[in-house]
Amino acid sequence: MAVRIQNIKVICTAPEGINLVVIKVETNQPGLYGLGCGTFAYRHLAVKLVVEEYLRPLLTGRNAEDIEELWQLMHQNGYWRNGPIENNAISGVDMALWDIKGKLANMPVYQLFGGKCREGIPVYRHADGRDLEELCHNIEKFREMGITNIRCQCGGYGGGSYGNTPGTAPAGALPGVYLDSGKYIRDTVKLFEGIRSKLGYGINLVHDVHERIAPSEAVKLARELEPFDLLFLEDPVSIEQTDWLRRLRRQSSIPIAEGELFNNPAEWKRLIAEQLIDYIRVHISQIGGITPARKLQIFAEQFGVRTAWHGPGDMSPLAHAANIHIDLAAPNFGVQEWSGIEPPNFVIQELKGPRGALLEVFPGLLEFRDGYVYANEKPGLGVDLNEKEAAKYPCENTVTMWTQTRRRDGSLQTP
């Protein structure tokens, strides 16, 4: 008997105050369903609408086992292709179909990719601080957890915080996150010099530019950070300015990670084929789910480019699980960003509060232990959803503020 899609539900929940979008694909087999992540935290209602009004009518009654056919159908059915709203909607369904496939096979999803290349996944975490002393203290806390890959910032991306216009902006300039790129570059170089001086070279350091400076400034920053032996410099330029990576490559040996905002294969094919980046770090729901992410991972492998998938707090545990399942089977895995969805006893209280609500909403979280994350070996993605608990934490539809980044003269800068 064919396994057919009977219904597709969208569950929006915010157990930690961050909007999450979960897609549930129900089948004609009693008790058989799949879960996937379609989280676009800042446009969650748009994703919900696409799934409920367009994908559900399109897919109901179709064979849930035909993942490739259904992905291509969803991808081309609206004629115009790609973009964060549609891709996240497709991702939620796609992950749910892989979850179903694993449950049908009675295997974790990574087994469907050929099995493990490694037993656990090394992760990197984010350390911040008001100054060098506080930052180094927080780095040491992570090292006590066995984490040896740490992303370091001081005062947020680009060193700015939301507020009114600074004295440099003209009268009438709008409020926003005002950035001083020159000061940010000087402070960042000094920061990494201080970290290496205090803590040595026994840890792998990462820094995220978050595309908040001009491309020529990114080249300057990369060159000045070279002595401090970074694992990689993350998103030094915006997706609109990736041609600058060729110039950066010529002028600096620092490893580059790029791709958090990528939607479309046209944005990464040339960068990988010309080996202009060392790590590809897409947000896998942003590109359409497990199906395209697995293809991207295999493509990158042919050119010696490693994976470092985006793993922030504004994605559900289902998406974190999808990252880990691909990582386990990927020969070209590099490192995994990890926002800290481990159970409360592993959480550093100075950095994050307990994650009890997340555990109640998403039973079966992956296991973090001594710097590594492990799949829980349940069939499918291994993470479930308690819909009753999820309903206790409704999403909020508010104006996003942190992306309103500005240069010193008040003009907008990519966030």
**Residue 135 neighbours by CB distance under 10 Å:** 23
Dihedral over Cα of 82, 84, 90, 91: its sign: positive
Residue for token digits 């990197």?
124
Tokens of 67: 């993942």
The CATH homologous superfamily to which domain 111-379 belongs is Enolase-like C-terminal domain (3.20.20.120)
- Taking only the tens of pLDDT, the chain with its 415 residues reads 899 999 999 999 999 999 999 999 999 999 999 999 999 999 999 999 999 999 999 999 999 999 999 999 999 999 999 999 999 999 999 999 999 999 999 999 999 999 999 999 999 999 999 999 999 999 999 999 999 999 999 877 876 666 777 778 888 899 888 999 999 999 999 999 999 999 999 999 999 999 999 999 999 999 999 999 999 999 999 999 999 999 999 999 999 999 999 999 999 999 999 999 999 999 999 999 999 999 999 999 999 999 999 999 899 999 999 999 999 999 999 999 998 765 443 333 333 434 578 889 999 999 999 999 999 999 999 999 999 999 999 999 999 998 999 998 999 999 9
Distance, CA of 82 to CA of 378 (rounded, Å): 32
| pLDDT number for residue 345 | 38
Distance, CA of 276 to CA of 392 (rounded, Å): 46
| pLDDT number for residue 232 | 98
Tokens of 139: 């780095």
| pLDDT number for residue 343 | 47
CB hemisphere CA count around 107 (13 angstroms): 12
Distance, CA of 277 to CA of 216 (rounded, Å): 17
Residue 337 main-chain phi, psi, to 5 deg = -65, 140
| pLDDT number for residue 132 | 96
Which whole-number Å values give the CA distances from 338 to 9, 270, 323, 341, 369, in the listed order? Answer: 27, 27, 10, 8, 13
The residues assigned a catalytic role are: 157, 210
Looking at domain 5-107, which CATH architecture does it have? 2-Layer Sandwich (3.30)
Nearest to 232 by CA among 213, 210, 207, 209: 207
| pLDDT number for residue 350 | 36
Sketch the domain layout of the chain as residue ranges. 5-107, 111-379
Nearest to 192 by CA among 223, 236, 160: 223
pTM summary value: 0.94
| pLDDT number for residue 349 | 37
Alpha helices (H) along 29-157:
44-50, 56-59, 67-77, 84-105, 109-112, 132-144
Q: Do 5-107 and 111-379 have matching folds?
A: no
Residue for token digits 């030094």?
236
